[in-house]
């Protein structure tokens, strides 16, 4: 028997709704492969926990997480807790403490879905964004002065270290290599942001010299965003700073069917610490409690977790299960044109996984 311990932070809003379906998919994997077991521990760290305790997780929260093989996160955020608290006191500490410096975000049009981009299909929409996940624009350094006066000002510093930039760019190149893909594209803005971005470009060029077989492009973030829509077929692996990658991947999600479908992995490539898998969407207060959130982003994130744990065939089984339901086209949540509930969608995917096994 192979055991994996998984910490589950379902979170707020639609987080628990989609996570319930992610866990069903995990149980389906256990039923198919009776030699694998997931020991699940659910942690109630969310904005409700904050209301009760004045913090997003216990003081030893990171120590608790340290011992798990992986972490699954639903979504965090509630209208009554400022977003910078929920993000800075829970998600960012996990990403940083566990050196999850790669945020891996596939942009892939699944079978059975149509892109809002006319003339673009599965062949054109299939690439991966590698977002730097521990530094850059999300720096926590800066401050505000002179509140309430006409001289009020706010400063936020961007922090780019050679260590941090180099390791994520290296990861992007090795990912391209291991996927058998030919191009790595970097997001830059060295015309306007005149210290950090030229530095980013320089490191990108340095690293690219050890991969002469891979074609490289450096595009300014504004033009790159436009290419996501007009020429998505030119991308294999895109590497971007924390903020640029965040924005690009919501756009990427939109061109392949929406936020309800987009998964991610916060990866510690060295495997010294647990990695964390989560849909890229938030807690969606506008639809929370209605039972209509799309669970695919979460189930696909579980599939990425299987890949990361070294069971690619199980990751593929989950993804095939999702695609089969989309191709049948009968059970769909409202965001992709249907009337199904979150749990009906999850059940349909579980059934298709069981049929395939
Ligand atoms: P959001 O991703 O929650 O929602 C954006 C839009 O997408 C909404 O219209 C929502 O209904 C829709 N949507 C999102 N997920 C969906 C799904 N699974 N199925 C169908 N539709 C879906 O972004 P937001 O509204 O900017 O943020 C809401 C809250 O979530 C905020 O508190 C924010 O800070 C937080 N947030 C958390 C994370 C995270 O936990 N990693 C990420 C982004 C935002
Ligand atoms: Mn985001």
- Average pLDDT of the residues in 109-134: 97
Identify whether 108 is part of a domain: no
Identify whether 107 is part of a domain: no
Q: Which of 227, 256, 285 is the last residue of a domain?
A: 256
The pLDDT value recorded for residue 357 is 79
Do 199 and 216 belong together in one domain? yes
For residue 64, what pLDDT band results from cuts at 50, 70 and 90?
Answer: very high
Total domains in the chain come to 2
Do 202 and 272 belong together in one domain? no
Q: 279: CA distance to ligand 1 center in Å?
A: 10
Q: 335: CA distance to ligand 1 center in Å?
A: 13
For residue 28, what pLDDT band results from cuts at 50, 70 and 90?
Answer: very high
Identify whether 131 is part of a domain: yes
The CB density around residue 82, as the number of other CB atoms within 10 Å, is 12
Identify whether 184 is part of a domain: yes
Do 251 and 125 belong together in one domain? yes
In ligand 1, which atom is closest to the CA atom of 279? 41
The pLDDT value recorded for residue 85 is 95
Q: Which of 78, 83, 84, 284 to mutate to test the pocket of ligand 1 (most atoms within 8 A of CB)?
A: 284
pLDDT tops 90 at residue 140: no
Q: What is the pTM for the complete model shown?
A: 0.96
Do 52 and 119 belong together in one domain? no
Percentage of the chain lying above the pLDDT 90 cut = 99
The pLDDT value recorded for residue 180 is 97
Q: Label each residue of the chain as H, E or C.
A: CEEEEEEEEEECCCHHHHHHHHHHHHHHHHHHCCCEEEEEEEECCCHHHHHHHCCCCCCCHHHHHHCCCEEEEEECCCCCCCHHHHHHHHHHHHHHHCCCCEEEEEEECCCCCCCCCCCCCCCCCEEEEEEECCCECCCCCEEEECCCCCCCEEEECCECCHHHHHHHHHHHHHHHHHHCCCEEEEEECCCCCCCHHHHHHHHHHHHHCCCCCCEEEEEEHHHHHHHHHHCHHHCCEEEECHHHHHHHHHHHHHHCCCHHHCEEEEECCCCCCCEEEEECCCCCCCCCCCCCCCCHHHHHHHHHHHHHCCCHHHHHHHHHHHHHHHHHCCCCCHHHCCCCCHHHHHHHHHHHHHHHC
Do 239 and 278 belong together in one domain? no
Do 249 and 266 belong together in one domain? no
Q: 348, 254, 267: which is closest to 21 by C-alpha?
A: 348
**Which residue in this structure is represented by tokens 């009020």?**
152
Do 312 and 234 belong together in one domain? no
Do 194 and 310 belong together in one domain? no
Query: What is the per-residue pLDDT across 159-200, written as a single tens digit (0 to 9) for each?
Result: 999 999 999 999 999 999 999 999 999 999 999 999 999 999
Tell me the C-alpha to C-alpha distance, in Å, between residue 164 and each of 129, 251, 339.
17, 25, 45
Do 174 and 249 belong together in one domain? yes
CATH assignment at residue 348: 3.40.718.10
In ligand 1, which atom is closest to the CA atom of 86? 34
Q: 40: CA distance to ligand 2 center in Å?
A: 26
Q: What is the spatial distance between Cα 345 and Cα 319, in angstroms, rounded to a whole number?
A: 14
In ligand 1, which atom is closest to the CA atom of 74? 40
Q: 344, 311, 309, 308: which is closest to 325 by C-alpha?
A: 344
For residue 331, what pLDDT band results from cuts at 50, 70 and 90?
Answer: very high
Do 155 and 203 belong together in one domain? yes
- Average pLDDT of the residues in 322-343: 97
Query: For atom 43 of ligand 1, which residue has the closest CA?
Result: 282
Residue ranges making up the domain that contains 334: 1-100+262-357
**Alpha carbon distance, N-terminus to C-terminus of the chain:** 19
Q: Which of 210, 236, 256 is the last residue of a domain?
A: 256
Identify whether 71 is part of a domain: yes
Identify whether 19 is part of a domain: yes
Q: Which of 256, 289, 314 is the last residue of a domain?
A: 256
Do 250 and 275 belong together in one domain? no
Do 60 and 130 belong together in one domain? no
Identify whether 327 is part of a domain: yes
Identify whether 140 is part of a domain: yes
The complex's ipTM works out to: 0.98
Q: 54: CA distance to ligand 1 center in Å?
A: 23
Q: Which residues line ligand 1 (CB under 6 A)?
A: 14, 18, 75-77, 83, 91, 259-260, 278, 281-287, 293-294, 297, 335
């Amino acid at each position: 028997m192979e055991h994996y311990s998984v910490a589950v932070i379902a979170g707020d809003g639609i987080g628990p709704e989609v996570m319930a379906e992610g866990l069903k998919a995990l149980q389906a994997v256990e039923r198919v492969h009776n030699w694998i077991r997931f020991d699940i521990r659910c942690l109630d760290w969310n904005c409700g926990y904050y209301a009760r305790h004045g913090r997003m997780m216990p003081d030893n929260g990171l120590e608790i997480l340290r011992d798990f093989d992986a972490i699954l996160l639903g979504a965090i955020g509630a209208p009554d807790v400022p977003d910078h608290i929920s993000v800075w006191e829970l998600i960012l500490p996990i990403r940083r403490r566990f050196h999850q410096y790669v945020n891996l975000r596939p942009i892939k049009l699944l079978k059975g879905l149509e892109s809002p981009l006319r003339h673009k299909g599965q062949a054109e929409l299939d690439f991966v964004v590698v977002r730097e996940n521990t530094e850059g624009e999300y720096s926590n350094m800066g401050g505000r002065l002179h509140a309430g006066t006409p001289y009020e000002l706010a400063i936020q510093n961007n922090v780019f270290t050679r260590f941090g930039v180099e390791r994520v760019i290296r990861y992007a190149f090795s990912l391209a290599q291991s996927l058998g893909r030919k191009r790595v594209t970097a997001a830059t803005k060295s015309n306007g942001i005149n210290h950090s971005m030229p530095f980013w470009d320089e490191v990108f060029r340095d690293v690219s010299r050890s991969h002469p077989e891979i074609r490289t492009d450096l595009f300014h973030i504004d033009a790159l965003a436009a290419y996501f829509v007009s020429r998505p077929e030119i991308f294999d692996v895109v590497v971007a700073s924390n903020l640029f990658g965040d924005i690009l991947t919501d756009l990427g999600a939109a061109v392949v069917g929406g936020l309800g479908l987009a998964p991610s992995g916060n990866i510690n490539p060295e495997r010294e610490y647990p990695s964390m898998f989560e849909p890229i969407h938030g807690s969606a207060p506008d639809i929370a409690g209605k039972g209509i959130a799309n669970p695919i982003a979460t189930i696909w994130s579980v599939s990425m977790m299987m890949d990361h744990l070294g069971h690619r065939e199980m990751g593929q089984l989950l993804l095939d299960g999702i695609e089969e339901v989309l191709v049948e086209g009968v059970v769909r949540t409202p965001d992709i044109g249907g009337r199904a509930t979150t749990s009906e969608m999850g059940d349909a995917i579980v059934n298709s996984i069981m049929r395939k096994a």
